[in-house]
Structure 1
Amino acid sequence: MSEQGTIEALHHEIGRLIVHDEAFLELPWTSLALVATMRDETTVQLHGYAYLEDGKTEAVTPRASTVAQRFVELHHAARERDPRPWKAALVQIWRSSAKVSFFFEYDDAARWKVTPLNYQTMREELRPK
């Protein structure tokens, strides 16, 4: 499989794993946002939000370690195509359309980092629109 084919397959697999993860199965979500921040070449930190039907937002991350493993694989595959690695990735998923979008940050690993000072604005910034 070509590098581009591998990257596209990993995008699809990551989206599928997120949607079917047990952390999200019981939630009445309309959209999801998940941030993957590379800590080093083999470790990724995940955090995200489920945007619920009632308008509430719940901080939640996948329970399966497979999601994090696939992000590491995606990072390695992307580096084969472009030696400048991304530092963070944002995945947004819309339930009604099954649309999955990926965005990558190459300069600022903390671009989508949630802190006690920014958590309210960040959960809205990450919300799929």
Structure 2
Amino acid sequence: MNIKDEVLMDIAQLFLRCSDLIDYEWKEVTFVFEFGEGCTSNSGFLYDGEEITPAAASIEDEQLLLDNTLEQLREDIYQQCGEKFNQLLFQMENETKRFKIDFEFDDPKRWAITPSNMFEMREKLRPKFD
């Protein structure tokens, strides 16, 4: 799978435009996007030391821009390797703007955040940039 660095950098810039990242203090952030038949959902966490705040990735004045961009990435990857990812994991460190993007092709619930596992997942998904 070959994804151009510019594409990944553009995606990271879109995340930085999300309302929750603008409105709240954070040191690290995690978002999980889940892709279904014709729909996309996301949830995540803002980490500020020991303070953890649930978050969603949405750009206030362009509600569908991030979703559509990630759907296009999903389609581009499908064209390259014949598979569509079920989930996308985005993590970023605020100070350095380092980020990671990972894909899940097999287990559609690998990074799923639900009411019953929210406390477990917020620690499991905490970004580590060591």
TM-score band, normalised by shorter chain? 0.7 to 0.9
| Structure 1 residue 15: Cα displacement | 1.0
- 3-state SS in 1 of match to 2:77: helix
> In structure 2, what is the Cα distance between the partners aligned to 1:4 and 1:32?
22
Question: Which amino acid in the other structure matches residue 101 of structure 1?
Answer: K
> How high is the TM-score relative to the length of structure 1?
0.87
Asked whether 1:63 is paired with 2:58, we answer: yes
CA 1:84/1:20 → structure 2, altered by over 3 Å: closer, same or farther? same
| Structure 1: stretches of 5+ with no match in the other structure | none
Q: Is the 8 A contact 1:48 1:61 kept in 2?
A: yes
**Aligned match of 2:116:** 117
> In structure 1, what is the Cα distance between the partners aligned to 2:7 and 2:43?
19
Moved over 6 A (4+): none
* Structure ranking higher in helix proportion: 1
- 3-state SS in 2 of match to 1:109: coil
Question: Which amino acid in the other structure matches residue 128 of structure 1?
Answer: P
- 3-state SS in 2 of match to 1:127: coil
C-alpha root-mean-square deviation of aligned residues, in Å? 1.5
Task: Pick the aligned partner of 2:35 from 30, 35, 38.
Answer: 38
Counting aligned pairs with the same residue, the percent is 20
**Aligned match of 1:12:** 9
